[in-house]
Each structure stands twice: as C-alpha cells, then as structure tokens.
Structure 1
Amino acid sequence: MEVIPAELEPTPFDLAAIDAEWPLIAAELDVLDAEISLFYADDRGGPSPLDWRRLRRAEARVTRAATTAVRPPWQADGCVLHRLAVVGRTGCGYGCEIVRCPACGGEQVLHQTADGCRASLPRAV
C-alpha cells in the first residue's frame, strides 16, 4: 500500500468545499441519468412524456443548486490565523458587519446583539 504524503491529502477546507458543492454534483449526475434514459428510450419506441419530464426536473435541480452559494461552512473563530476584513454592512440598522477572510475566502455576518440586533438570536416558535 502506497503512503500518500500529508501535503497531498485534502485539507479540512478542501473537504468542506466538496461537501458544500455536493448538491450540484448530485444534480448533474441526475441530469446524466435522465439523458442516458433518453438514449435507451429509442429501444422502446422513443422517449415518453415522463422521460422528458424527468430530464426537465433534473435540469431545474442543477439550476437551483448552481444558484446556491458554494462556500464551505465557516465560523469567525475558524480563521484565527487570518485577518478578517469588513467588506460591507447588512443594512439592518444596527451596524452589523459582513466580514471576509482574504486568505480562505470565508465570509460571515457579525450581528451586533449588544446594540439591539436580534437577527442572530433564536426565534420563538
């Protein structure tokens, strides 16, 4: 068994990025399955309306997954070694900031609960 050097193995950030991108990968595999079904439908007289619907639904899943931001889960304390830069404000009226780590690209909203912002507090059901 060959030993892989540690520097070639994926980092936790790499694995988190793959996990975050997995819905898009799965949706694209669904499109591939639907297209393969269309090819095999020729053997039974051509694609049925259900075959075409399956393809349209799979393509819609790809579109939805592609429009979702793909970014690994990130917490402010996850970038202790990096400098967090304020890149914007939320506009909620409490001075809440959007911060980004230039090194890893992680981004997060920091709500100012001390100033009265309730966005980060759990909601009552």
Structure 2
Amino acid sequence: MTTDHDAAMLEPTAADLAAIEAEWPLIAAELDLLDAEIAMLYAADDGGPTALDWRRLRRAEARLTRAAAEVGARPAHVCHGHLLVEVGMTGCGYGCKILRCQTCGGEQVSHRAVYGCPAGKSASRVA
C-alpha cells in the first residue's frame, strides 16, 4: 500500500523537469537516430537499405552530434540572488560541494581551485 507521501516521492521535482526540458533536443535527436537505425534493420530484411535509408541515417547522426554539442555548450544552472544550501559533497576528494537553490530546487557543483581541485582549476582558466 502506498501513501500520499510515498506517491509524492515518486514524482519528479521542478528541477528534474527543467533538466529534462533542457536536454529535450538531445533526447529527440537520439530517438530520431534510433528510428533511422531500426529502419536500416528492417531494410536489411527487404533486400538492403536504399540510398534514402543511408541518407536518413547520416542526417540523424549529424542532428545528434549538433544537439549534443549544443547541450554540452550550455552553462550549468546558476542561481543568482537565491539562497543556496549545501546538500552534499562531490566526491572529487578536494572538499568540493553540491549546492541546491532553496527557491527553484536547481543544483550546482562548486569545485574550488583554492582547495587544489583540478576541475576548479580548469574552470577558473576558462572563466
């Protein structure tokens, strides 16, 4: 028997939904590639893929590459003016922290070059 509290724990948070929406172009591109690959498998049973099947596969692969580059180039979620609280450690071994915004629920990682963290050092060089 599940209670209302248990059901609420199964629902995605606003931050979860925002993360899914931000990655949706990549998810859609992956689904397009999967469709093209399935079409290639079916075509193999019908005498082999056509030039159009190959073109569809190449275009889906290119879309996936572009979508992955776009999603990867976006900055991580950063809350300005919101109260951030520490919710855990990153596990990188340098005492870096995971922070959560109490307003929107978004999370961000704080790698600190001051503690000798290589991720923090590379981020400070980029900034």
TM-based fold match above 0.5: yes
In the TM superposition, residue 62 of structure 1 has moved relative to its aligned partner by 0.8
Once the two structures are superposed, what CA deviation does each residue of 1:6-62 show, in whole Å capped at 9, x if it has no partner? 333211111100001111111111111101111111233210111001001101111
Match of 2:30 in 1: 28
Once the two structures are superposed, what CA deviation does each residue of 1:38-92 show, in whole Å capped at 9, x if it has no partner? 1111233210111001001101111111112356766535xx2217xxxxxxxxx
Provide the rounded CA distance (Å) in 1 between the counterparts of 2:38 and 2:50: 13
Match of 1:76 in 2: 80
SS in 1 for 2:84: coil
Runs of 5+ in structure 2 lacking a partner?
86-97, 100-106, 110-127
SS in 2 for 1:52: helix
The CA RMSD measured in Å over matched residues stands at: 2.9
> Which AA in structure 2 matches 1:20?
A
Provide the rounded CA distance (Å) in 1 between the counterparts of 2:108 and 2:55: 38
Task: Give the conservation status (yes or no) of the 8 Å contact 1:16–1:73.
Answer: no
Equivalent residue in structure 2 for 1:105, among 108, 115, 124? 108
SS in 1 for 2:40: helix
Provide the rounded CA distance (Å) in 2 between the counterparts of 1:5 and 1:24: 29
Task: Give the conservation status (yes or no) of the 8 Å contact 1:28–1:62.
Answer: yes
Aligned residue pairs: how many?
87
Provide the rounded CA distance (Å) in 2 between the counterparts of 1:17 and 1:51: 33
Match of 1:65 in 2: 67
The 5-angstrom pairing of residues 1-125 of structure 1 reads: 3=4, 4-69=6-71, 76-77=80-81, 80-82=82-84, 103=99, 104-105=107-108
Runs of 5+ in structure 1 lacking a partner?
84-101, 107-125
Once the two structures are superposed, what CA deviation does each residue of 1:98-121 show, in whole Å capped at 9, x if it has no partner? xxxx61128xxxxxxxxxxxxxxx
Identity of aligned residues (%): 59
- TM-score by length of structure 1 reads 0.57
